[in-house]
């Protein structure tokens, strides 16, 4: 763990990292030759983005990543050497391309995660556990797309990680999507889930049109054992939901430049806040053993700062916008961006 003498209460795992290339154009014209005004490159993936953001709050979170060994020099080239814990595997790293228009429109093209062998995935599990133990961490964040297991053709199995973390007394945050999310939300092994509205609608199999719909859907996940659901709702802010309580939070409007990575910044803000603001003995009972409302406020502030920046990773957490929080949630209030469940 090069350059990381300080222990961190949080470790992240990015099972399928990506090389993010961002092209900034004035206006994207489909079917025509477009010239880029600027080009940026960074090593990314949801867990990497979360770890990088946590460093801004003084939390030296290490990020475990399997990286293709054909990409020699990628850590130095992308400025990621000091906080990544790489597992070098055969092959290349996938590439995600972002086309960012000056008006704020973002087009994203993601290469599918590259499959891992059973042996490679076992090495990922071992390295993750080793890193958690070395840091005496209390949280493990598993974030991003899950690769397929070459030997089975199905998504890699997270059960061994959950089992090992349970034995260590480590809570797991899961931030993924699609079929893996639909499966793991019903296993009840993750302490925190962070779906957006569409992902939550897909997980429960129905449309989400109001605040009440979101809270009901989140409580359905809590009924399976999840402690807290952080539902990102775009311009509607966030609903943070436990079995017994729910908080709505949002910030003052900000100028949107690039939405890529906003969810990662949101999650990092939540984790930084609950780490730096533990619940004192005799303090208010939030229904869980961490300070959900403080975390939720920081989450939407960090997310708002992120969308005002051009890169996929959070550059700074300066000038946090004003934040609003209420537990008096208007259940009938319609979502500005309703989530319509789409059958597969």
Cα 245 → chain centroid: 23
**What does the pLDDT look like over 52-79, one tens digit per residue?**
999 999 999 999 999 888 767 777 666 6
Catalogue all structural domains in the chain, each as residue range(s) with its CATH number: 10-339 (3.40.1190.20)
Residue 75 structure tokens: 């850590």
* 166 and 134 Cβ atoms separated by less than 8 Å: no
pLDDT at 3: 45
Would you place residue 80 in the very low, low, confident or very high pLDDT band (cuts 50, 70, 90)?
A: low
Give the residue, 216 or 256, on which the prediction is more confident.
216
Residue 90 structure tokens: 């055969």
**CA dihedral angle for residue 114, residue 120, residue 123, residue 124, rounded to 10 degrees:** 10
Residue 1 structure tokens: 């763990």
Alpha helices for the chain (secondary structure H): 46-56, 74-77, 118-135, 159-168, 178-184, 197-204, 211-222, 262-276, 292-307
Angle at 17 between CA 264 and CA 99, to 5 degrees: 70
Cα 27 → chain centroid: 29
If DSSP states are collapsed to H, E and C, what string results for 139-184?
A: EEEEECCCCEECCCCCECCCHHHHHHHHHHCCEEEEECCHHHHHHH
Residue 55 has φ and ψ, to the nearest 5°, of -60, -30
Least confident span in 1-15, 192-206, 326-340: 1-15
* 23 and 108 Cβ atoms separated by less than 8 Å: no
pLDDT at 2: 43
pLDDT at 70: 74
pLDDT at 79: 61
Cα 74 → chain centroid: 22
Residue 255's SS3 state is coil
C-alpha span between 51 and 59 (Å, rounded): 8
C-alpha span between 261 and 42 (Å, rounded): 12
pLDDT at 296: 97
**What does the pLDDT look like over 174-197, one tens digit per residue?**
999 889 998 998 898 999 999 999
């Amino acid at each position: 763990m090069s350059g990381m003498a300080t222990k961190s209460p949080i470790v992240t795992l990015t099972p399928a990292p990506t090389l993010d290339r961002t092209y900034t154009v004035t206006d994207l014209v489909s079917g025509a030759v477009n010239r880029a005004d600027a080009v940026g490159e960074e090593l990314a993936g949801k867990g990497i983005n979360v770890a990088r953001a946590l460093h801004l709050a003084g939390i030296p979170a290490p990020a475990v990543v399997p990286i293709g060994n054909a990409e020699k020099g990628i850590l130095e080239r992308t400025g990621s050497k000091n906080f990544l814990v790489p597992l070098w595997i055969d092959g290349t790293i996938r590439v995600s391309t972002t086309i960012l228009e000056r008006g704020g429109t973002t087009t994203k093209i993601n290469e599918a995660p590259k499959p891992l062998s059973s042996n490679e995935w076992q090495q990922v599990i071992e390295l993750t556990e080793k890193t958690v133990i070395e840091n005496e961490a209390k949280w493990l964040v598993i974030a991003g797309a899950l690769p397929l297991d070459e030997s089975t053709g199905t998504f890699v199995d997270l059960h061994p990680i959950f089992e090992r973390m349970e034995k260590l007394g480590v809570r797991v945050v899961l931030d993924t999507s699609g079929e893996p999310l639909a499966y793991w939300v019903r296993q009840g092994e993750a302490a925190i889930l962070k779906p957006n509205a569409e992902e939550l609608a897909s997980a429960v199999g129905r449309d989400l049109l109001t605040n009440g719909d979101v809270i009901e859907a989140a409580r359905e996940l809590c009924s399976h054992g999840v402690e807290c659901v952080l539902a990102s709702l775009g311009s509607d802010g966030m609903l943070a939901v436990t079995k017994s309580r729910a908080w709505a939070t949002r910030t003052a409007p900000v100028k949107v430049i690039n939405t890529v990575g906003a969810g990662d910044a949101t999650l990092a803000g939540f984790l930084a806040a609950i780490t730096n603001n533990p619940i004192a003995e005799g303090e208010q009972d939030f229904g869980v053993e961490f300070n959900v409302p403080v975390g939720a406020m920081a989450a939407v502030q960090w997310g708002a700062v992120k969308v005002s920046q051009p890169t996929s990773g959070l550059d700074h957490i300066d000038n946090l916008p004003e934040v609003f929080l209420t537990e008096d949630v208007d259940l009938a209030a319609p979502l500005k961006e309703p989530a319509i469940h789409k059958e597969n």
